[in-house]
Amino acid sequence: MDVHIETTPIKDVLVVSHQVFEDSRGFFMEVFREDLFKEAGLPDRFVQLNHSRSGRNVLRGLHFQWDPPMGKLMRVSLGTAFLVAVDIRKGSPTLGQWFGTEISAENKKQLWAPAGFARGFCVLSDYAEIQYLCTGTYNQHAESGIAWNDPQIDIKWPVNDPQTSEKDNTAQSLAEWLKTPESDNFKF
């Protein structure tokens, strides 16, 4: 088995590809393997697996958690989505910068963003199912979000008029987040 790592303009955000075995019956791939992840410098311990399904033009994010700090390895198991990671770490040379990429069930890639990044996605196909392995368990008292349309970040979402939740529509700006005491949990 093989794991291939693609670097991105943001040093700690990575695109992960795997060796895929395909034939007339379908395909097989290892989504996670502890020894290969450790060898590649990726996290080798995940404590939670989340799975969501959304329709075309649904946009979710930008979400993060500081206690416990949560990194996410995101993949699309059905359909196509644009996955995004935004650096929200105080003092980081890439603070406020984002990386986005189209991930699909066909290309079988994954996006890794460690703790200190807000993550989100928008659906480009009729439906998409996104799964993410998390390095921390969910804590509703230590999670938050950054506005998906924060002009300081200026993400170029590939959808017009996205469907969003009230929670995501009222999320704070990056500038507001950086003024909170919780933001000190993500110092570079």
Task: Write out the residue range of the structural domain in which residue 125 sits.
Answer: 45-186
Residue 4 banded pLDDT, cuts 50, 70, 90: confident
Mark whether 132 is an active-site residue.
Answer: yes
Q: Please tell me the pTM assigned to this model.
A: 0.92
Mark whether 141 is an active-site residue.
Answer: no
**How far is 140 from 99, CA to CA, in rounded Å?**
26
Determine, yes or no, domain membership for 145.
yes
* H or E element at residue 122: strand 117-123
* Given 18, 127, 132, 138, the catalytic residue: 132
Determine, yes or no, domain membership for 96.
yes
Determine, yes or no, domain membership for 17.
no
Determine, yes or no, domain membership for 1.
no
Residue 1 banded pLDDT, cuts 50, 70, 90: low
For the chain, what is the domain count? Answer: 1
* CA 160 to each of CA 48, 155, 164, 170: distance values in angstroms, whole numbers, following the listed order: 32, 13, 12, 19
**How far is 168 from 88, CA to CA, in rounded Å?**
17
Per-residue pLDDT of 156-186, as tens digits, reads 999 999 999 999 999 999 999 999 999 998 9
Determine, yes or no, domain membership for 57.
yes
Least confident interval from 30-44, 68-82, 100-114, 143-157: 30-44
**How far is 28 from 183, CA to CA, in rounded Å?**
41
